[in-house]
Structure 1
Amino acid sequence: METTLPSLAPARLAEPESPDTLVLTVNNRYARRILANLSAGLDEQRRVMALPDIVPLRAWLQQAGDTLSFVPEAGLASHVIDAFGARSLWQRVIADIEAEHVLLDAGQAAALAIEADRMMSEWRLSLQPGEETVDHQRFLLWRDEYRRRLQSLDAEDAVLGFERVCDAVEAGLLEYRFSRLVLAGFTELSPQLQRLLDVLAAQGVELYQLELDATKARSVRRVMAPDPDSEWRLAAQWAGDKLRSDPDGRYAIVAAQLEGDVALAHRVLREALRGQGGEPAFSYNVAVARPLAQWPLIRAALAWLYLLAEMARQRRCAPSVAGAALLAGRCVADAEESDGRARIDASMRADAVVSLAAGEFARRLAQLAPALAGAWAACFEQVLANAGRASIDVWVGRFRQWLQMLGFPGPAALDSHAYQTVDALERLLERLARQTIVLGRIDFGAAVAALSSLAGQTPFQPQRDPSARLDVQGFLEAEGGRWDGVWILGLTDEVLPSVPRPNPLLPLSALRRANAPRATPERELAWARAMFDALLCTAPEVRVSHALQEGERELRASPFVAPIETEEYVLRRQAVPTVAMERIIDEKGPALPAGAPTRGGIAVIDTQARNPLWAFARYRLGAGQMCDYADLADQNARGLFLHKCMELACKSLTNSDSLLAQASDGSLAQVIDAALEQAASECLADYGAVVRELEQDRASAILHEWFALELERGPFSVKAVEEAFLWTRGPLQLRLRLDRIDELPDGRLAVIDYKTGGGKADPKSDWMRERPVGLQLPFYAAVLAEDQASVAALLLARLHARGIEVRGLADGDCGFAGPATLGEWADFQHLSWDALMSQWRMVIQRLADEYAQGIAANSVLRADDLAYCDVLPFLRLNEEADHVA
């Protein structure tokens, strides 16, 4: 219902009667604004002014509750829980009642239940027969249990507290000193608030509504922007022009969806408000409060506490948990050991650490971050000695002690924002300590989770710059403000009015009957009209704007701004002076020095064939995409396991005769089972028993199928399994490891490489190129085996549950049906086997010489050659398109 109270001019708040006046505001922002306006009346002639109490309604209710705590007849509960405590209790109640509904988000349901409970009380919702929905019935069940638990704790929340204050005022139990009550910022009165006002009026209190400056803007013009990005740039350009022409003026940009656009807002404002030398010419304030958990200092504190909790719980943790703390820093030797902490994180990724033991973490710290290692050891000892269940206030004391032992917030001096953030953390810990009645005795992990949840629900914004002449605010923040000029952007028909969002736990018919907020289109239209009218009173000059298109989606103007006359306002583009461009082709780096270690093995030659710049960046510069943390679901673990199974099984074979004998006497199955067990213990140790059993069953079927195929081969002997080789050419040293080498009856070799993935095994397109790739087998056949026995077959064996196949190239019969002969490949039809080996040898040596000489041309033959390139940004292929053949 709309307010119908008589108006009171702001100047009358400074009258002699002001000590008997209470000003209730809708929020803290209004209270600060009224106080600032009254303070502006002080000058040399009037240095002192009597002011009334100016407090938000919520704060006054809390003060009234404190006063009633000294009145025995009030029957107050012993404890008052805040919004976080109430949400925690609601969430616990819902999780207990809906334990069978595993897909229910208890946190989201708790937020909806809190809103529903407040609306039922505040708007006096009543249901008529037949209106109850299934969701509302579940909500009533939750609320009954929630109220029962509150009663068992002898506690009350804000909803019950408001009702208790109303009852106490009505019963004459609450003493108050004001005789005049002024409401500020209330565009409507809920039935609950109206009841309180009626009781106060009946007891002789004069009720007023603060008269705000409702003078509408003299000039209102509409600007149409092509898209939201341009709309922000136009608003920022307007603000910059205004501040340069009137540096003492106060201006505002009001955005409909500021939280989602905050990053864009900062970017365009820094650009538009830049001075001649590039430095900021004007400061500004953006009224967006991020959750405290997102600020770097708080994120670091939470990361260290979470790491301590995980290590204390099971003496190990996921590497991502340790990495988050190490990279966040804010600890002992923060700057001095930042490189060491980063190297620890990188090494855990590169080593594919799946689970980091406490001892291993301490060892890595001692090697690369010794100062932190000492602090960690002392702190972790204290944690292990005090890791038992305790009340949350005890945990808060431990958190402070342990963070201090780790050196938080770091040795560097704190700037203003960092100091305010640390102060906010201290207030957060104090608030958490007051949750003992709700949380009870909990373990370390639950205590850290509670702190993290509270930090995620607590908004924080550093104090605004008092010298700033430009404010960037949302609708609610701007309402009731006053500036010299305002630009309101984002006014599409999707925003003003917005789509109704009735609470799903409350019947829509009851919400509509009570005309509750956000419930119906009519209610949203009325709110939008009142908000738009209020925004038009914020400055004598107002510009409103909307975008015409967002991506491929057309946008329409809000019906409130559509009738306003449009104005052409052009976005100025900064003039960029033309500069003569000089193109320098630099495709050669320094030659590889003698004695320098070569990283990458045979992959160096393969990468040089695909793109020389990729090889130079990856292996000479050491560039590469940061590895992610190892994951048990990584399919590479399956490949490593299957390779290990084949290695162990093949090592028990000497030749085809022994394979046939083992198959005949049944020992082959035992060999396979033994290989599976040993490989599983080495490669699948971090997996559960069920997953290990499934992987062993899959590998068993593959190995049995493979050896069944081998039993059909002709005679062979196993010459090497997983053998490593070293090749040197000039300053280059390359290492190669082959899965298996067999010797055929004619004394020549068959080289076998296992492929365990689901991709193709046929190497035809890779080997039949001017610069061949997939060079492991050709490299051995053409280069390493040159002075030894010659190679007669290059075989790629695809080992997969969907089937076994062997592909490759062979000079004669190798015992498998899949490999091709030279005559079957068009480019090799005219070559003999020895000629092909010679050709490959020259190509490989040329590629090796290219790499050693530093040749790093950014050229690639086929786009799919870069499918697994981890330095794509370095190649800048969008600027080098002419280099792609």
Structure 2
Amino acid sequence: MFTESTPISLDELSGLPSTATLVLTVNNRYARRILADLSVQLDAQRQVMSLPDIVPLSAWLQQASDQLSFIADSGLASHTVDAFGARCLWQKVILDAEPDRVLLDVGLAARLAQDADRLVSEWQLQVPPEMETSDYQRFKVWRQAYRQSLQSMDAEDSVLGFERVHEAIAQGVLPFHFQHLVLAGFNELAPRLSGLVQALLGQGVSVHALRADEQPAAALQRIQASDPDTEWRLAAHWAQTQLRANPGGRYAIVAASLESDVVLAHRVLREALRGTEHEPALPYNVAVARPLADWPLVRAALAWLRLLHTLLRRKQCEPKLAGEALLAGGCVAHAAEAAGRALIDAAWRRKAVVSVSKGRFEEQLAQWTPRLAQAWSDCLAMAADWRDGTLDAWVQRFRSVLQALGFPGEAMLDSHAYQVVETLDRAFDRLARQSAVLGSVDFGQAVALLARLARETPFQPQRDPAARLDVQGFLEAEGGRWDGVWILGLTDEVLPASPKPNPLIPLAALRQADAPRATPERELKWAQDLYGALLRCAPQVWVSHALHEGERELRPSPCIENLAAGEAPPLPSPSQPCELEFLRDEQGPPLAQGSQTRGGIAVIDTQARNPLWAFVKYRLGASELADYAVLSDQNARGLFLHEAIEFVWRSVDSQETLAQQHASGELLALAEQAIQNSAEQHLRDYSPVLRELEVERARVVLESWFELELKRQPFAIEGVERSFQWTHGALDLTLRLDRIDKLDDGRLAVIDYKTGGGNIDPKSNWMRTRPIGLQLPFYASVLAREDARVGALVLARLHARKVEVKGLADGNYGFEGLAALDDWPEFAGRGWQQLMADWRHTIEGLAQEYSQGVAVNRSLRADDIKYCDTLPFLRLNEEIRHDV
């Protein structure tokens, strides 16, 4: 095996014959850096330079495979499978091999198997029988099936491709034009790569290793920060100071956990590098790639394709799926019809629509977005006769459909959006190349594969060329060159990291081969090499770590613990705040003469809970956009029970009739009819099994409620679902009561059904100075007059766990659970009529408050605004006043 190469400097490299020299780099970054370093040698005397081929190892292997395709009997496979295709094939063979293991995470197993296959080849791992584990034995089965699948398709992946190129070089079959090979950026050579280099040596190629000319940092300083946030702020302040002091310098912040800290990094950097009255803001680049699927235009494309597939296959879809496409846009009339698309989505939310049919969707598009409706009609016609096909055929179809939809929209794309569209186009091409691996798939599978590829494809826009500050991770920074570098996050948890051996390969075999990530010793060596490389990135280097993260104590990395810790530079004091002028805006304009506010008792109840909430919701007409309805929505279940019990009480006019029908068995038949009728109305979107479960639950609840009703004092039904109007100044409110009973003493009992599982006891709500939950008190004190006095306010909980009543009564009416006035401390010693008068005075006062425009941001208890739908307007990120 190849063990040693001749070192060569950059100057010596430029002296080698360019046409006979190949520079292999560890990745693209090294290739670009070497090219930049060679370009520096150009000056007025030397304006032209002949450059050798400078390519990453992976690109050169692809070139070599392409050359083999022109050689007869080279044994080259007909198809090349990339990493995505290989992962898909691993998943397929694992699923076939493990049909009964339902708890196996096939996606994770495929990733581990793919990595294990690479490790076995790259490090030439030998696992004797005595070392084998059960996991390794299953991996061997998967690997054999995987290789057989590749062979049956006449395909090869990167592992087999490397081996094919190596064999061709060793046998002298592969021609190449270079006589000098220069390796750049390789800290070590794995046995597989070492064997390839040895084969080139055998063909008379001279091998060199590019010697880095960088010197270790002349100035090295260690900083301790109290916590990670402070550490980032110190680094950002350092960068701002360096950039302002040296307008021509280039600097870098290198972070150990950049991906997880990226939001914090942007925040502190924007704050530190913001512009001033005399200086512009300083640009910077953060080298963190997000999945392609997270970018808005890609989300839009995927949403439209998912919607098209679902409506064609099922003829209906969930409103959330269609709403995602409508709100994402990226289609014809993207801006012109944006309001129409939003109106359709908002209507589904407001009306609690749980399913949108294909025809209804087309009708709504025609009404609100005519141009999109025409484009959508063209897409449906185009996709009507689609059948299963290979992925290259699906890619052509997807492109045609998106083009018909007007993707990516009609507006001019900015630089980032243009790059996203280009990357998506390349993802389509990459997906098409998986045809040989995945064969024929249906529409849904093709969309799912495209979405998966987009999730696994990282995308980062091109860096701003004007930026002089780079924020990078460890691997991205290795081999870079700046005027100053701050390396943060250097704790012993990061450098060295904990070992993470592949669980499919026995640890003993990994340790024996000294494979990466396998042992603490291997991780320590990697950490030391990386740390040494980072110290050569700049003449001045600052290293830092935090002392605490929350309550957890942190320790410095072994790489820096012997450095003397310097005192952290002081962060700049916040600028002296100017004196702010406060305007307490708690009073809106009164309702104009002749204007009216229409609504239900919720207007008064909301005013009692928080006046600003009532003003925003009913005067300004602003409220939070409702979420999409789902089948398990509590509102649908509540409406189902309400209507069923309403049907019963419209047919039963008194307790006497209830008892007669119960004795004869007619009551159960009546209840069954009521339940079925209500289920047909409110549970039509439920599956048969779920619907039957809800129906059975309703039978139990109604039977329990009837038993409780039969034990009461005699009553007659006065009204069911009766509506009342109340006008007070500019207010015109509607009240709808579930049920009103006439009691044996001539007074009324008002009953309100509650179908949820929460506490229904109104004691704490009704005893307050500003009572809430006002439906029953409102009717009893304001709408009911002397000729229709109320004697009981009943909240009935209809729930499978427990059927019960709570409330207030002025007498014993046989309902266990109703309290007398003396049972509640605030009402003790007060008469019933006095309580009604007090409530009436309070409610009319709340109505007057609302009419006068009182909009104080005040609530008595935090739970009062638990379900507030205008929370952002109430500025809940600030401290809200609660009056106890």
Aligned-partner Cα distance in 2 for 1:364–1:682 = 23
* 1:628 to 2:627 alignment: yes
| 2:41 match | 41
| 1:618 match | 617
Aligned-partner Cα distance in 2 for 1:603–1:495 = 56
Could you say what secondary structure the match of 1:779 adopts?
helix
| 2:243 match | 243
Aligned-partner Cα distance in 1 for 2:819–2:100 = 60
Aligned-partner Cα distance in 1 for 2:882–2:757 = 31
Call closer, same or farther: CA 1:466–1:857 in 2, change over 3 Å.
closer
Question: What's the CA shift for 1:449?
Answer: 0.8
| 1:508 match | 507
| 1:143 match | 143
Instruction: Map residues 41-440 of structure 1 onto 2, 5 A cutoff.
Output: 41-277=41-277, 280-383=280-383, 385-440=384-439
Q: Which amino acid aligns with 2:478?
A: E
| 1:570 match | 569
Question: What's the CA shift for 1:224?
Answer: 1.0
Question: What's the CA shift for 1:841?
Answer: 1.4
Could you say what secondary structure the match of 2:444 adopts?
helix
| 1:550 match | 549
Moved more, 405-414 or 41-50: 41-50
Segments of 5+ residues of structure 1 without an aligned counterpart are: none
2:131 and 2:508 in contact (8 A); partners too? yes
Moved more, 59-68 or 562-571: 562-571
| 1:714 match | 713
Question: What's the CA shift for 1:279?
Answer: 7.3
| 2:681 match | 682
Could you say what secondary structure the match of 2:819 adopts?
coil
1:387 and 1:443 in contact (8 A); partners too? no
Post-superposition Cα deviations, 1:185-238, rounded to whole Å, max 9, x if no partner, equal 101011111111111111111011011124111111111111111111111211
1:21 and 1:178 in contact (8 A); partners too? yes
Post-superposition Cα deviations, 1:364-392, rounded to whole Å, max 9, x if no partner, equal 33333333222222222322x23321111
Question: What's the CA shift for 1:580?
Answer: 2.9
| 1:731 match | 730
2:858 and 2:880 in contact (8 A); partners too? no
2:2 and 2:197 in contact (8 A); partners too? no
1:13 and 1:51 in contact (8 A); partners too? no
Post-superposition Cα deviations, 1:280-320, rounded to whole Å, max 9, x if no partner, equal 53322222222211112111111111111111121111222
Question: What's the CA shift for 1:594?
Answer: 4.8
Post-superposition Cα deviations, 1:315-336, rounded to whole Å, max 9, x if no partner, equal 1112221121122111122122
Aligned-partner Cα distance in 2 for 1:791–1:64 = 93
Aligned-partner Cα distance in 1 for 2:681–2:481 = 71
Post-superposition Cα deviations, 1:741-761, rounded to whole Å, max 9, x if no partner, equal 112234332111111222223
Aligned-partner Cα distance in 2 for 1:600–1:822 = 31
Aligned-partner Cα distance in 2 for 1:600–1:438 = 62
Aligned-partner Cα distance in 2 for 1:787–1:590 = 36
Q: Which amino acid aligns with 1:721?
A: V
Moved more, 742-751 or 668-677: 742-751
What TM-score results when the alignment is normalised by the length of structure 1? Answer: 0.97
Post-superposition Cα deviations, 1:669-726, rounded to whole Å, max 9, x if no partner, equal 1011111111112222222222222221111011112112222333322222122222
Could you say what secondary structure the match of 1:591 adopts?
coil
Aligned-partner Cα distance in 1 for 2:646–2:870 = 33
1:15 and 1:50 in contact (8 A); partners too? no
1:300 and 1:329 in contact (8 A); partners too? yes
Moved more, 592-601 or 172-181: 592-601
Runs of 4+, deviation exceeding 4 Å? 594-597, 877-883
Aligned-partner Cα distance in 1 for 2:381–2:570 = 62
Moved more, 685-694 or 707-716: 707-716
Aligned-partner Cα distance in 2 for 1:883–1:828 = 24
Q: Which amino acid aligns with 1:607?
A: T
Question: What's the CA shift for 1:656?
Answer: 2.2
Call closer, same or farther: CA 1:807–1:663 in 2, change over 3 Å.
same
Q: Which amino acid aligns with 2:836?
A: M
CA RMSD of aligned residues (A): 1.9
Call closer, same or farther: CA 1:597–1:292 in 2, change over 3 Å.
farther
Instruction: Map residues 559-598 of structure 1 onto 2, 5 A cutoff.
Output: 559-594=558-593, 596=595, 598=597
Aligned-partner Cα distance in 1 for 2:276–2:828 = 70
Question: What's the CA shift for 1:119?
Answer: 0.3
Call closer, same or farther: CA 1:757–1:302 in 2, change over 3 Å.
same
Could you say what secondary structure the match of 2:859 adopts?
coil
Could you say what secondary structure the match of 1:390 adopts?
coil
Question: What's the CA shift for 1:617?
Answer: 2.2
Aligned-partner Cα distance in 2 for 1:676–1:105 = 43
Q: Number of residues paired by the alignment?
A: 884
1:293 and 1:456 in contact (8 A); partners too? yes
Aligned-partner Cα distance in 2 for 1:516–1:597 = 78
Aligned-partner Cα distance in 1 for 2:577–2:32 = 51
What TM-score results when the alignment is normalised by the length of structure 2? Answer: 0.97
Post-superposition Cα deviations, 1:1-22, rounded to whole Å, max 9, x if no partner, equal 9962111111233225121011
Aligned-partner Cα distance in 1 for 2:303–2:570 = 44
Q: Which amino acid aligns with 1:816?
A: F
Aligned-partner Cα distance in 2 for 1:603–1:674 = 33
Aligned-partner Cα distance in 2 for 1:280–1:429 = 41
| 2:817 match | 818
Aligned-partner Cα distance in 1 for 2:596–2:403 = 44
Aligned-partner Cα distance in 1 for 2:169–2:36 = 31
Question: What's the CA shift for 1:865?
Answer: 2.2
1:392 and 1:442 in contact (8 A); partners too? yes
Aligned-partner Cα distance in 1 for 2:587–2:544 = 53
Call closer, same or farther: CA 1:633–1:133 in 2, change over 3 Å.
farther
Aligned-residue identity in percent: 60
Post-superposition Cα deviations, 1:153-173, rounded to whole Å, max 9, x if no partner, equal 111111111111111111111
Could you say what secondary structure the match of 2:55 adopts?
strand
Aligned-partner Cα distance in 1 for 2:877–2:240 = 35
Aligned-partner Cα distance in 2 for 1:819–1:550 = 54
Call closer, same or farther: CA 1:583–1:419 in 2, change over 3 Å.
closer
